[in-house]
Amino acid sequence: MAASAAAVALQPGEDAYRDRYIIAVTVTLASILELLDTSIVNVAIPHMMGTLGATLDQIAWVSTGYIVANVIVLPITGWLSSLFGRRRYFAGSIALFTLASFGCGNAHSLEALVFWRILQGLGGGALLSTSQAVLYEVFPKEEYTTAMAIFGMGVMVGPTLGPTLGGYITDAASWRWIFYINLPFGILALLLSLTYVRDSRWASKVQHVDWLGLLFLIAAVGSLQTMLERGEHLGWFESREIVAYAVTFAVAFVAFVWQELRAEHPVVDLSILRSVQFSAGLLFGALLGLCLYATVFVLPVYLQSILGFTAEQTGFVILPGALASAVTMAAMSRLRDRIDPRLLVVLGAGIFMASMWKHAHFTLDSGQDDFFWPLILRGVGLGLLFVPLNNLALAELPMHRIPNGTGLYNLTRQLGGSIGIAAAATLVTRFRTASRAALLPDISIYSEAARARIEQVSAGLLARGVPATEVHQRALALVDGGVTRQAMMLSFEKLFLLFGFAIALGLPLLLLMRKPIGAGISGDLH
């Protein structure tokens, strides 16, 4: 990239921060739409299968295509923003996302739906990273915490509302309306962005396109994300398809790094990683993504598969925790000058760990009241982590590096989340198998407790009119089902403890970070 200045839309003497709160609402609205569509389709999958005549393996590409396209765009948002101009790129991405949403709702074949979902993911991928870069420029440095708190509320609430909103819309109307609902909000965000979002004052003009680096990046990130999305379903490395994804990722990633280090105009400037603070922030951000997305994935599975909650009931259970995150992040603006952000990260990690410890004490008989405070704690912990960690990671970067930094930071958080979901899906099965094997020796004819339980169940079946010839077999099946549920419960308890421990792994990285005075104020990284 050449060092020429970008076109500045500000007039002489005009206040650069005048419309900052309107812009914050605009970019946060766009980000919420993108994040909602990451999870909103999951509850509508069975309805889509019936309408489109697709198998579960085929319909999975509706989610996989979106997320893969989304992740591919994340690391190059800064480059694309400089290539097209930030205002044009951001507004164009919203327009593409909104148009693709209409295409998804109007799709009458699986191929058409997957095609439009990929386009939707390409449009949505720009929204998170570009939104953060915009906020760092339109807010003065002393209000960065406020800006990230507004943005963070959308980032935390969006994924949580997805399954609830998707379930309600699918039941009340049809699955097509989970896409149509994006249209009015997408049009509003587009109009606001065209009116208020400006080109960056710090951007450099792209003179050459590193096509080879771009190709390697697409192959590396796309194959990794696809492997994480489909690994558990295909049995991981027992599948040739997964092995092919892994080999493609390894080769493409090495080639991408080699190309970017030698290219005069790289599509992703890896020299940004020379900042120890930024690199440490990336690693911690990946752990945050792992814990955030994995717990968002595991808890609904527990509530619906073990306790029999509906998607709507699950949403209402989770909602207070999401609101707690939003309130906590809103309070961050008042704490920015009083408390070292590193201490807030430590406090947030401690509260999150306490929440996971309480999660690990959920049982087969837990009810809605039992979930309230553990989920409030989880929301407060994540709220305390998100804003200060974001500011710490980007604190040493000069302003013209912020778009590149936000792209890489969001990429690592997203990949961390994908790894967390893939790990949770795999481990819950393995933990369940191990727990069931440990419980089975106690369920035998030599166990008085087991015999008493079988007799109790048999008596209940007889009282309900079950023929005597079938009672014993049905009683054994019910007891076996109870053992399976208990084994599943034990596996969830282990997972919650594991994710609580995972966030603690990031705390030593704080030793590599300094308290930020404000992002975008340091010199260039050579």
According to the model, what pLDDT value does residue 425 have? 85
Average pLDDT over residues 319-333: 82
pLDDT value at residue 344? 92
Which one is the CATH code of 18-206: 1.10.340.30, 3.30.1300.10, 1.20.1250.20, 1.10.3720.10? Answer: 1.20.1250.20
The whole-number pLDDT of residue 429 equals 85
**Which one is predicted more confidently, 206 or 347?**
347
**Mean pLDDT of the region 387-412:** 87
Higher pLDDT, 195 or 154: 195
Binning pLDDT at 50, 70 and 90, where does residue 476 land?
low
pLDDT tier for residue 185 given thresholds of 50, 70 and 90: very high
Indicate the SS3 state at residue 204. Answer: strand
Of the two residues 92 and 428, the one the predictor is more confident about is 92
Q: In the prediction, which pLDDT does 517 show? A: 56
Quick check: 411 and 253 in contact, CB under 8 A? no
Q: How confident is the model at residue 523 (pLDDT cuts 50, 70, 90)?
A: very low
User: Which residues share a beta bridge with 520?
Assistant: 398
In the chain, domain spans: 18-206, 268-526
Mean pLDDT within 123-144: 86
Question: Which of the pair, 481 or 198, is modelled with greater confidence?
Answer: 198
> How many C-beta neighbours within 10 Å does residue 82 have?
23
pLDDT of amino acid 209: 77
pLDDT band for position 505 (cuts 50, 70, 90): very high
- pLDDT of 222 > 70? The answer is yes
pTM score, two decimals? 0.82
Residue 522 has pLDDT above 50, yes or no: no
CATH class held by domain 268-526: mainly alpha
Question: What per-residue confidence (pLDDT) applies to 383?
Answer: 87
CB 266, CB 210: distance < 8 Å: yes
Mean pLDDT value across residues 430-454 = 73
Q: Is the pLDDT of residue 8 over 60?
A: no
Confidence of residue 352 (pLDDT cuts 50, 70, 90): very high
> What is the per-residue pLDDT for 136?
86
Residue 507: exposure state from Cβ atoms within 10 A (0-12, 13-18, ≥19): middle
Say if residue 519's pLDDT is above 70: no
For the cut 80, the answer to whether the pLDDT of residue 32 exceeds it is yes
pLDDT at position 12 is 46
- For 320, half-sphere exposure in the C-beta direction (CA atoms, 13 angstrom radius) is 12
Q: Convert the pLDDT of each residue in 199-212 to its tens digit.
A: 887 766 666 778 89
Regarding predicted confidence, which is higher, 511 or 523?
511
Domains 18-206 and 268-526 share a fold: yes
Over the stretch 261-300, which tens digit does the pLDDT of each residue have?
888 888 888 889 999 999 999 999 999 999 988 887 888 8
pLDDT in tens, 377-397: 999 998 899 888 988 998 888
In whole angstroms, how far apart are CA 86 and each of 82, 89, 204? 6, 5, 11
The C-alpha atoms of residue 452 and residue 435 are separated, in whole angstroms, by 22
Mean pLDDT in residue range 88-97: 95
CA distance 27 to 86: 12
DSSP code for 307: S
339: Cβ contacts below 8 Å, ≥ 6 apart: none
Q: In the predicted model, is pLDDT for residue 9 greater than 80?
A: no
Check residue 13 and give its pLDDT. 44
Under the banding of pLDDT at 50, 70 and 90, the label for residue 507 is very high
Phi, psi of 518 (to 5 degrees): 170, 140
